[in-house]
Structure 1
Amino acid sequence: MHWLALILSGTLEAVWATALAASDGFRRPRPTALFGGALVLSMVGLAWAMTALPAGTAYAVWVGIGAVGTVLLAVARREERLGFARAALLLVLVACVAGLKAVA
């Protein structure tokens, strides 16, 4: 159950990072509100996951999910391009996150 909370929290990290960029320096209310809500929920989930998982592993997995998710959201929104090298590096990052989960 803690791993599921961690995965959801990492996903929310991608949401708040994307909303932060879309908020235009907190000048746009809807993305700003989405940023605040997703940030709080993401942190609460991470904190709860860390009650049962090693802090270093939990944080690394959370950041990895958030980083990959943020890039994929930017690609889906056509704000960034996903070339071969970038895709390969994201796959390596996903493999590292999966490896951390496997050995935890």
Structure 2
Amino acid sequence: MDSIDLAIRNKAKVTVYSNKKHTEAGAVAALRTRPEVRHFIANHYHRYLHSKIYFFEKDDRYTALIGSGNITLGGLVSSEELSVRLTGAIGDPHHAQIAAYLKNLEVVLKE
């Protein structure tokens, strides 16, 4: 949570999407104590969230890491993973696709 707290102090908008099955109860509780963080959790057995998207916006630019890897020691160091880094201007075609996916994900996870 240190990284999330640092992001909050730096005025970042933080949204977390996770699976109930793979999110520790302590992490859910910790996120609830941070009203600045929006947390959407897939808790329906028929809706499993498996996508890995790490998405950042600053000013008129964005960076997205999209791939198979988790941000864990295994996902970053010891597993064979593939991720693609996209950067560009907010509003470009890739940004529009990612933003639409995330907006739809919020709707799906609220169902």
TM-score band, normalised by shorter chain: 0.3 to 0.5
More helix as a share of residues = 1
Q: TM-score, normalised by structure 1?
A: 0.35
Higher RCO (CA < 8 A, seq sep 6+): 1
